[in-house]
Amino acid sequence: MHLSTVSINLLLLVIVLSVLSSTSESQQPTYLYHDCPNTTTFSINSTYQANRGTVLSSLSYNSTRGDGFYNTTAGSIPDTVYSLSLCRGDLCQACVTFATTDISQRCPNQTRAVVWLDECLLRYSDQYDTRINTSFPL
């Protein structure tokens, strides 16, 4: 009888651990807000679009480096793209990777965009300064 109690407890432990690990691995970042003003847009297959793809890939690839902040630039004027990401270190790569896809879908041809997720922020712009609205609306 002792052996069956141990077996049942072991089986329950395995079930609980498998549920917990699959839940934490499959969770997507929590979307909060985005802003992509239609004031300036770029053409499909343009140099700006290629540069945007370069910075978004770089943000996603390098998001695990450092302290959760990463910025990069691609291209030359007038097609320069400035970008940055800020995130929690333990969830950084998953969040930034999700955000790069999300911002590309929400802002398909805007030259300025920002997306806030609960776990990270991602921004790109054709301007070096902060002309894009980076304040979170309340």
Asked whether residue 81 is domain-assigned, the answer is: yes
- The count of C-alpha atoms lying within 13 angstroms of the C-alpha of 5, restricted to the half-sphere facing its C-beta, is 2
Asked whether residue 133 is domain-assigned, the answer is: no
Range of the domain at 77: 30-125
Each residue of 115-138: pLDDT tens digit? 999 999 999 999 986 544 555 554
Which residues, 6+ apart, have CB-to-CB distance to 102 below 8 Å? Answer: 31, 34, 115, 117
Give the closest residue to 81 by CA, choosing from 73, 89, 71.
73
**Number of domains present in the structure of the chain:** 1
Asked whether residue 81 carries a pLDDT value surpassing 80, the answer given is yes
Asked whether residue 38 carries a pLDDT value surpassing 70, the answer given is yes
Asked whether residue 46 is domain-assigned, the answer is: yes
Q: What is the CATH number for 45?
A: 3.30.430.20
Asked whether residue 69 is domain-assigned, the answer is: yes
Asked whether residue 64 is domain-assigned, the answer is: yes
Asked whether residue 131 is domain-assigned, the answer is: no
